Structure 1
Amino acid sequence: MRGGRWRVADGAVPEALGRAFPALMARILANRGIKNEIEAELFLAGDARLSSDPMLLPDIQPAMTRIYQAILSGERIVVYGDFDADGITATAIMVTGLKCLGADASPYIPHRLTEGYGLKTEALKKLAAEGMTLVISVDCGINAVDEIRAAAKIGLDVIITDHHLPGHEKPPAVAVIDPKRTDSKYPFTELSGAGVAFKVVEALFSGMGKPLPREHLLELTALGTIADIMPLTGENRYLVKEGLKHLNDHPSPGLTEIINLSRLRAGQLEAESISWQVAPRLNAAGRLNHAIAGYNLLTAASADEAMVLAAELEAQNIERQRLTLLYVNKARDKVMAEPLKSLLFIEDEECPQGILGLVAGRLSDEFYRPSIVVRLDGKLATASCRSIPGFNITEAIDRCGHLLCHYGGHAQAAGFSLKPQDLPELAALLGEIADRELAALDLQPVLQIDAEATLKELGGGLFQMLQSLAPFGEGNRPPLFVSRCVSVPDYRAIGAGGDHLKLRLTQGGVVWEGIAFRQAAEMKKILPDPLDIVYNLEMDRFNGRETLRLNIVDFAPSV
């Protein structure tokens, strides 16, 4: 983060919060848009009151009617998913739920390399030839207008469940369930694909008067929501909080194996460890091979089956890490070879398609620019995009829709494909859009800091109080504090290469232990002078010993 800007929240704290909570906690709650004690209690509880009625989802009634009809008549149902972790978990949720209701349901996840994202006419024809009569999409399909028209002509009914932004034309499906539809009455729009699938299954069980197998479905929903970097606010807060409980108590055989390979411990899983260690392993299947391996792991019935599948995913994840490093270095060299632009547009004929998004994400993080990485492959160019706050990459791509074959995504992540001969025009047009929209922005990352605090204020049970804000993730980051003029009477380098520093920090007679990961070289240039530090409070659990410490994410010399 060195070289970024610090922005300390300075909005007014509502009087009601100031009376009900200590000053730092009241400030943190206010920063999250909470206005009074009632809202605070609901946020901190994160319970079922945040869960909305699935019958408010658009088209839920015709979807239920068609699914019940298929179950009663013994039709063959196929759940058509996506190859990322959200799509895999959504597929597992829907297939598991349907089977529990007595449906003849099976999964179909397209191959990233040979088929690409979303509903494909050729795949639908193949499914119809195999005797499928009802297709339920999960985490895809909201813009598959032509494909659904083609499906109708071959006798396939389609129900769409998705969470991506709808296009200008609503697909002519039996039902189009997406909380982002402009006519949706569902009060929470930020469900993941897994979250939408869970709500549909919840409605189906409720309609048949059967108890929902909540535990396994909620752990899958939590995993998909975290992996897709959905905001952990509103209903997502409840879904993830409940899902993490089940993941920590008794995870399914497949997830148990992923947790073990990630060197995590059931009982101590948090949203951040799922995001950094579990989700990438599940994603690895679809990045380098076929994502059905991830689905099979999630639905494995025994520990022995799960162990074999998890070992395969682990090998793919190691290869994914190697390829990511290789192509990030190549892309970085290309960026550094010319003046830095508002938008980074990198072409590479060799970069594996499943790695494009990872490379774009690393470039965006390092250079703080929207980044697009394109693979040229014969008659088609395929791209993955990552962006920064203040630049909606999907909206930018939408303005270039006349040049594209397929596209879609979120504000911060998207993908598209087009004919290679249109690449120069597309690159120029997107560059102009970025130059115009980013001209007024200072293109360096901003640390949003919750409050300025003295080291003395960090005691008195504050850490336990902060834990009630969890689960932490997108939209609800761990609280960040800044403390000024902190002395460092003692420090030592740790780690294999001495890249990290362990510090003793003092201010006004109060002493804390601190850790600064990957900052040793820069920090040593300033020490022993006093520092201004930005940090989280965290519990270090090393060798079974718990130590509360400051995790320093940035620093500057004190003025």
Structure 2
Amino acid sequence: MPEKAVYGRNDFLDLVAIGTVADLAPLLKENRVMVIEGLAELNSNRRPGIAALARVSRLDAGSYTAESIAFGFGPRINAAGRLAHAYDAARLLSTNNSIDAERYAQALDSLNRQRQRLTADLSARAEAMIDPAAPILIAADKDFVSGVVGLVASRLAEKYYRPAIVMEQGEEVSRGSCRSIDEFHITDALDDAADLLVRRGGHAAAAGFTIRNENLPAFIDRLTALAQEKLGGLELRPTIAIDAELDLDEVDMALYQELRKLEPTGIANPPPIFASRRVEVIHHKAVGQDGAHLQMRLSSTTGSKRQVVPSIAFRQGEWTKQMPQLVDIVYTINLNKWNGRTNLQLMIQDIKPAEMET
């Protein structure tokens, strides 16, 4: 009879941390404790699969954070289930063979790039189907892929600040993914249309469902009416809670190291968000696929150092067409590691032309 494997209490904490962060669980209470312990285990770098995944994610071994999981490991692991089979990710995380790990990691990285291209393409197609001023945004197509409809719905909800539903239409049934805003509980809305659905599930901000195609017109009418009733009289604008206002000259490595003491941050426990006013745009350009993102070099106009700080604003590349010289910005502070160099970087959450001085 084969001998049973014996595992210690910490042997799977690295996987617990990855699962907790990648599945967007709140980083509070016991979740936070498990992620702290799991990151310590993760940074011991015992799994060949983690080392290989770090290489394709361009992450430095031994310095993984919750953000490393959220934006490096997580998307690549999730890409397997979205476009292929989740077992592909399980093989990577369970193998003891470094050569196999490298091959599995490369495959997941390739799937993730495919997922990025597909999400961008389907988002553009979904945008062409919706009325941005409607109380709820609904797009459906037989060519939509079930593994990415949630990502497409997220982009629509984020861009237009409306609840969004994106569906993959099959021959007889359609499968939809929903993303919503604070003012509209999407699962309550699905409950109000339960008689039209095969199954449903979710929470206030995100949900999924299956529906027979003959019920689609009635479903769309009912959800639109519900959204109009709840949202019709409201000015729908996203808000950002700012923790402190800084002069850009105050952003330095010492501040970053203090902020690190608050880690791990993420869902329900976000990193501190700062604002700076009348910041000078020294340089700007569109970067990424189709110039979707905005890269800037910014400087204080009031501090004594007038240091220049790099920044990145995802999905805000349109600003390059009308960039003012002075802007007000909202951001978090991060490290950017590239070509062996490490620099502070602002992760821009919002940007607007600077307000006039009074």
**TM superposition score normalised by structure 2:** 0.87
Structure 1 CA distance for aligned equivalents of residues 186 and 90 of structure 2: 29
**Native 8 Å contact 1:231 1:475 kept in 2:** yes
Deviations 1:371-426 (A, max 9, x none): 11112212211111111223222222122222211211232221111211111111
Residue of 532, 537, 555 corresponding to 2:333: 537
Deviations 1:140-195 (A, max 9, x none): xxxxxxxxxxxxxxxxxxxxxxxxxxxxxxxxxxxxxxxxxxxxxxxxxxxxxxxx
Structure 1 CA distance for aligned equivalents of residues 298 and 31 of structure 2: 37
Q: Structure 1 residue 313 and structure 2 residue 119: aligned?
A: no
Please give the residue correspondences for 1:13-412 in structure 2 after superposition, counting only pairs within 5 Å. Answer: 100=5, 213-335=8-130, 338=131, 340-412=133-205
Structure 1 residue 243 displacement after superposition: 1.3
Q: Which letter maps to 2:189?
A: A
**Native 8 Å contact 2:199 2:211 kept in 1:** yes
Report the CA distance shift for 1:425/1:244 in structure 2 as closer, same or farther (over 3 A): same
Structure 1 CA distance for aligned equivalents of residues 338 and 104 of structure 2: 30
**Native 8 Å contact 1:232 1:476 kept in 2:** yes
**Native 8 Å contact 1:281 1:314 kept in 2:** yes
User: What residue in structure 1 maps to residue 240 of structure 2?
Assistant: 447
Q: Structure 1 residue 506 and structure 2 residue 301: aligned?
A: yes
User: What residue in structure 1 maps to residue 218 of structure 2?
Assistant: 425
Structure 1 residue 456 displacement after superposition: 5.6
Structure 1 residue 328 displacement after superposition: 1.2
Deviations 1:222-241 (A, max 9, x none): 11111111221222111112
Report the CA distance shift for 1:349/1:517 in structure 2 as closer, same or farther (over 3 A): same
Structure 1 residue 521 displacement after superposition: 6.0
Q: In structure 2, the residue corresponding to 1:265 is in which secondary structure? A: coil
Q: CA RMSD in A?
A: 2.7
**Native 8 Å contact 2:312 2:345 kept in 1:** no
Q: Which letter maps to 1:371?
A: A
Deviations 1:108-165 (A, max 9, x none): xxxxxxxxxxxxxxxxxxxxxxxxxxxxxxxxxxxxxxxxxxxxxxxxxxxxxxxxxx
Unaligned runs of 5+ in 1: 1-73, 75-98, 102-211
Q: In structure 2, the residue corresponding to 1:230 is in which secondary structure? A: coil
User: What residue in structure 2 maps to residue 189 of structure 1?
Assistant: none
Report the CA distance shift for 1:535/1:513 in structure 2 as closer, same or farther (over 3 A): farther
Structure 1 residue 249 displacement after superposition: 2.1
Q: Structure 1 residue 522 and structure 2 residue 315: aligned?
A: no
**Native 8 Å contact 2:198 2:212 kept in 1:** yes
Report the CA distance shift for 1:401/1:267 in structure 2 as closer, same or farther (over 3 A): same
Structure 1 residue 334 displacement after superposition: 0.8
User: What residue in structure 2 maps to residue 413 of structure 1?
Assistant: 206
Identity of matched residues, %: 38
**Native 8 Å contact 1:512 1:549 kept in 2:** no
Q: Which letter maps to 1:522?
A: W
Report the CA distance shift for 1:493/1:353 in structure 2 as closer, same or farther (over 3 A): closer
**TM superposition score normalised by structure 1:** 0.57
Q: Which letter maps to 2:160?
A: F
Structure 1 residue 511 displacement after superposition: 2.4
User: What residue in structure 1 maps to residue 349 of structure 2?
Assistant: 553
Deviations 1:498-557 (A, max 9, x none): 9522233231424232224255763684543x4333222333434434434544433331
Structure 2 CA distance for aligned equivalents of residues 253 and 412 of structure 1: 36
Structure 2 CA distance for aligned equivalents of residues 546 and 393 of structure 1: 42
Of the two structures, which has the highest relative contact order with CA contacts closer than 8 Å and spacing of 6 or more?
A: 1
Structure 1 residue 487 displacement after superposition: 4.6
Structure 1 CA distance for aligned equivalents of residues 81 and 317 of structure 2: 37
Structure 2 CA distance for aligned equivalents of residues 461 and 339 of structure 1: 43
Structure 1 CA distance for aligned equivalents of residues 338 and 107 of structure 2: 29
User: What residue in structure 1 maps to residue 262 of structure 2?
Assistant: 469
Q: In structure 2, the residue corresponding to 1:447 is in which secondary structure? A: coil
Report the CA distance shift for 1:413/1:545 in structure 2 as closer, same or farther (over 3 A): same
**Native 8 Å contact 1:223 1:279 kept in 2:** yes
Report the CA distance shift for 1:251/1:552 in structure 2 as closer, same or farther (over 3 A): same
Unaligned runs of 5+ in 2: none
Q: Which letter maps to 2:182?
A: P
Structure 1 residue 469 displacement after superposition: 0.8
Deviations 1:456-500 (A, max 9, x none): 655694322211111121112221112233455x44658586952
Q: Which letter maps to 2:15?
A: L
Q: Which letter maps to 1:327?
A: L
Q: In structure 2, the residue corresponding to 1:509 is in which secondary structure? A: coil
**Native 8 Å contact 1:516 1:553 kept in 2:** no
Q: Which moved more, 1:464-473 or 1:435-444?
A: 435-444
Report the CA distance shift for 1:543/1:313 in structure 2 as closer, same or farther (over 3 A): closer
Q: Structure 1 residue 480 and structure 2 residue 276: aligned?
A: no
Structure 2 CA distance for aligned equivalents of residues 464 and 247 of structure 1: 21
Structure 2 CA distance for aligned equivalents of residues 389 and 369 of structure 1: 10
**Native 8 Å contact 1:501 1:520 kept in 2:** no
**Native 8 Å contact 1:374 1:384 kept in 2:** yes
Deviations 1:39-61 (A, max 9, x none): xxxxxxxxxxxxxxxxxxxxxxx
Report the CA distance shift for 1:216/1:341 in structure 2 as closer, same or farther (over 3 A): farther
**Number of matched pairs:** 348
Q: Which letter maps to 2:99?
A: D
